[in-house]
Amino acid sequence: MPKGYLIAHIRVRDKDAFEEFKKLSGAAIAAHGGKVLVRNPSPDHREGAAEGLAIVIEFDDIDAARAFYDSDAYTEARAVREKISDTDLILVEGV
């Protein structure tokens, strides 16, 4: 079965408050078996408008990625993130 991935670009406006998001989201990621593959604050941006912190998280499958995103724990973390950043985020199934 193909893996599921969360891919995001996050433009952080409040770095101190972002630490709270990282704490909350890290616990939610772990609870759903996610593995952070990429966390880069200054990626080599070549095309498009999706700038900012680049993050890629791998899950066992797309259903696990969706369950993570829809979980109460991540909903709490997302509420923090939405106040202090602008984010482009997609969930995709691997090949």
pTM given for the model: 0.94
pLDDT tens digits along 65-86: 999 999 999 999 999 999 999 9
**In whole angstroms, what is the distance from residue 46 CA to residue 57 CA?**
21
Q: Are 21 and 53 in contact (CB under 8 A)?
A: no
Domains annotated for the chain, with CATH where assigned, are 4-43+50-93 (3.30.70.100)
pLDDT tens digits along 6-62: 999 999 999 999 999 999 999 999 999 999 999 999 999 999 988 999 999 999 999
What's the N-to-C CA distance of the chain in angstroms?
9
